[in-house]
Structure 1
Amino acid sequence: MILTITLNPAVDISYKLETFSLDTVNRVADVSKTAGGKGLNVARVLDQLGEDVATSGFLGGSLGGFIRSQIGLLGIEDFFVEIEGETRNCIAVIHEGNQTEILESGPVISEKEASLFLKKFTEYVQQVDIVTISGSLPKGLAADFYLEMVGIASQYNTRVLLDSNGALLTSIVRGEHKPYLIKPNEDELADLLGYKLLDEIQITEALDSSLFADVPWVVVTLGADGAIVKHGDNIYRAKAPKIEAVNPVGSGDSVVAGFAAGFARGLADEDLIKFGLSMGVLNAMEEKTGHINVDQVDWAVSQMSVEKIN
């Protein structure tokens, strides 16, 4: 089983308008509401791939209940911890080729709720083979909360795939216990290293940094240009097929799902890279976030090219 973590999920609300007017009433008929959060996107893609998947984090109030109902409809196992606070809304107003977002910060997690989660997480990591951790921390949690989670997983030799950035990613990479995979994009990699990366040669050279010596997999995503991937002492350049992107939001989450599924299936390096990155391509071809067309998986994998460059 694969467990995906979203500590600060949301109900994603999308309003589609022909025009958006300020300081007046805007009436909208085209509305969608979905269970949102990076780890939930990972879980949906894994479910579509036929993997045994559970998902966890913090949920509270009626909005938390909505997310629970959506998880149940998909048949994904619900390992979420109930909290007193209310799960947040995240609103996207799509208008005239633009997207205006209003993002709530979410509930404050109490010390008691955080301790309960870590207790439950310790139980969960003994039941699963792989954990994915995605996104930011909700308010109330200590800055080293992810680091503590990685440490717990390491006690039971459970592989952790981490998709975070900024200070969170830096603290974990520099910490005692390492994730099995990290997935920074080129800007996040530059932030981690503390200097700007001008081209692919510099990205490749940067992966030799001692920061990554004990991280088995580093996947540096380059958007439509594919990725540069480090596994141990080997570095690969992966190029994605040219597609007409419909909605690239959630493609990074889909890549995490692809690598998690690939690890679960025991795929070798180049096949794993092709499979993992293909999920990002397939997500970008769909209107819904965190969705793929499973009938296109073989096509997408066949169109990926991977070359060992070091």
Structure 2
Amino acid sequence: MILTVTLNAALDVTYEVPGVQWGGVNRVRSVHRRAGGKGVNVARVLAALGQEVLVHGFAGGPTGQAIRADLAASGLPEAMAPIAADSRSTLVVAEGSRTTLLNEPGPAVTASEIDEFLRAFDGPARDADVVVLSGSLPPGVPEDFYATLTARASERGARVIVDADGAALRHAAPGSPCVVKPNAEELARAVDLPGDRRLSSLAAGAEALRALGAASVVVSLGEEGLFAATGEGAFRVRLPYRIEGNPTGAGDALVAGLALGLAEGTAWPDTLRRAAALGAAAVAAPVAGDFDRGVYAEVLPKIVIE
């Protein structure tokens, strides 16, 4: 079983529009509302691939009830921990291949709610082969909380992936996760390095996170593929061509591929190839948490690994 943890879960709202006139009146072509947050998106992709998953995190208020109702309707098992504050919503405005994302900060979580979450976390972590810790930390949650969860999951035999930004990512590394998955900008913020995509900069940033305790670092680079620094060496993964569409959720699909590789014990080249193909296929899908199976099948054998 793969356990995904989304501490700052959201009700994701996507507006598809032919174009945006900022300051004017806009007509929305279609609307999608569904439970979201990075870990939820990871769980959707894994479930679509036939994997057993469990969604964990915080959910509160009417928005939290809507999140849990959508998870149930989607057939995604959940063990969301209740909080008093209302969960957040996010808004994606998608106009063709251009997207604008508006993220609410999230609900305030109390110390007692954190303690209850930790007590509830240990059982599922013990049953999990892989634990995925994804996304931002809501107000009230300590910056080193991912390191705490990583240590508790590791003690119970699970392998851990962390997908986070800034301080949450930097503080997660000392917990010794098996994999951390920033994008290039998140990597730069975590280790205070220039935010460019030169191979030397990516390698330096990845090794800085490995020096802090992360076993492997996979850096997503959008249409440029990804870079990975692992105990078995460094890999540069390139996509065969640019995929047009909505990039929201592409990194989450990539993480799903990494989690599947850890769960199955797949060699790094095969794990990275599948992860990159899932990320690309997610761009071709209109909503985060989905992926285009046709694009996935077409791209997978054409990915180049150096």
TM-score (norm 1): 0.89
Of 175, 184, 187, the residue aligned with 1:186 is: 184
Given that 2:193 and 2:201 are in contact with CA atoms closer than 8 Å, whether structure 1 keeps it comes out as no
SS in 2 for 1:57: strand
- Consecutive unaligned residues of structure 1, counting only runs of 5 or more, are none
Q: How does 1:191-202 map to 2 (within 5 A)?
A: 191-196=189-194, 198=196, 199-202=198-201
Following superposition, the deviation at residue 21 of structure 1 comes to: 6.4
Q: How does 1:205-284 map to 2 (within 5 A)?
A: 205-209=204-208, 211-212=210-211, 214-284=213-283
Following superposition, the deviation at residue 27 of structure 1 comes to: 6.3
Cα shift readout 1:21-56 (whole Å, capped 9, x = no counterpart): 677876656322111211111011001111101111
After superposition, the Cα gap between the structure-2 partners of 1:7 and 1:302, relative to the gap in structure 1 and judged at 3 Å, is same
Given that 1:162 and 1:181 are in contact with CA atoms closer than 8 Å, whether structure 2 keeps it comes out as yes
Given that 2:210 and 2:217 are in contact with CA atoms closer than 8 Å, whether structure 1 keeps it comes out as no
Given that 1:4 and 1:53 are in contact with CA atoms closer than 8 Å, whether structure 2 keeps it comes out as yes
Between 99-108 and 21-30, the greater mean CA deviation after superposition: 21-30
Cα shift readout 1:146-186 (whole Å, capped 9, x = no counterpart): 2211111121121110000111111122x2x2111011222
- 2:63 corresponds to which letter in structure 1? L
After superposition, the Cα gap between the structure-2 partners of 1:91 and 1:189, relative to the gap in structure 1 and judged at 3 Å, is closer
Between 103-112 and 37-46, the greater mean CA deviation after superposition: 103-112
Whole-angstrom CA distance in 1 between matches of 2:20 and 2:242:
30
Cα shift readout 1:234-276 (whole Å, capped 9, x = no counterpart): 1111111203321111111110001111222221121111111
SS in 2 for 1:32: strand
Whole-angstrom CA distance in 1 between matches of 2:100 and 2:217:
32
- 2:184 corresponds to which letter in structure 1? E
SS in 1 for 2:126: coil
Specify the alignment match of 1:142 in structure 2.
142
SS in 2 for 1:76: coil
Following superposition, the deviation at residue 15 of structure 1 comes to: 3.2
Between 292-301 and 204-213, the greater mean CA deviation after superposition: 204-213
Between 194-203 and 266-275, the greater mean CA deviation after superposition: 194-203
Given that 1:212 and 1:218 are in contact with CA atoms closer than 8 Å, whether structure 2 keeps it comes out as no
- Consecutive unaligned residues of structure 2, counting only runs of 5 or more, are none
Between 212-221 and 81-90, the greater mean CA deviation after superposition: 212-221
Computing the radius of gyration over CA atoms, which structure comes out larger, 1 or 2? 1
Specify the alignment match of 2:51 in structure 1.
51
After superposition, the Cα gap between the structure-2 partners of 1:299 and 1:265, relative to the gap in structure 1 and judged at 3 Å, is farther
Following superposition, the deviation at residue 69 of structure 1 comes to: 1.8
Whole-angstrom CA distance in 2 between matches of 1:298 and 1:20:
33
Whole-angstrom CA distance in 2 between matches of 1:98 and 1:299:
23
- 2:144 corresponds to which letter in structure 1? D
SS in 1 for 2:127: coil
Between 62-71 and 255-264, the greater mean CA deviation after superposition: 62-71
SS in 2 for 1:252: helix
Following superposition, the deviation at residue 105 of structure 1 comes to: 2.1
Given that 1:49 and 1:294 are in contact with CA atoms closer than 8 Å, whether structure 2 keeps it comes out as no
- 2:107 corresponds to which letter in structure 1? P
Whether 2:188 is the aligned partner of 1:153: answer no
Given that 2:91 and 2:103 are in contact with CA atoms closer than 8 Å, whether structure 1 keeps it comes out as yes
Between 291-300 and 102-111, the greater mean CA deviation after superposition: 291-300
Following superposition, the deviation at residue 216 of structure 1 comes to: 2.4
After superposition, the Cα gap between the structure-2 partners of 1:140 and 1:17, relative to the gap in structure 1 and judged at 3 Å, is same
SS in 2 for 1:34: strand
Between 206-215 and 85-94, the greater mean CA deviation after superposition: 206-215
After superposition, the Cα gap between the structure-2 partners of 1:208 and 1:146, relative to the gap in structure 1 and judged at 3 Å, is closer
TM-score (norm 2): 0.90
Between 144-153 and 14-23, the greater mean CA deviation after superposition: 14-23
Following superposition, the deviation at residue 95 of structure 1 comes to: 6.2
Whole-angstrom CA distance in 2 between matches of 1:294 and 1:99:
22
Whole-angstrom CA distance in 2 between matches of 1:41 and 1:207:
25
Q: How does 1:34-113 map to 2 (within 5 A)?
A: 34-94=34-94, 99=99, 101-113=101-113
Whether 2:295 is the aligned partner of 1:288: answer no
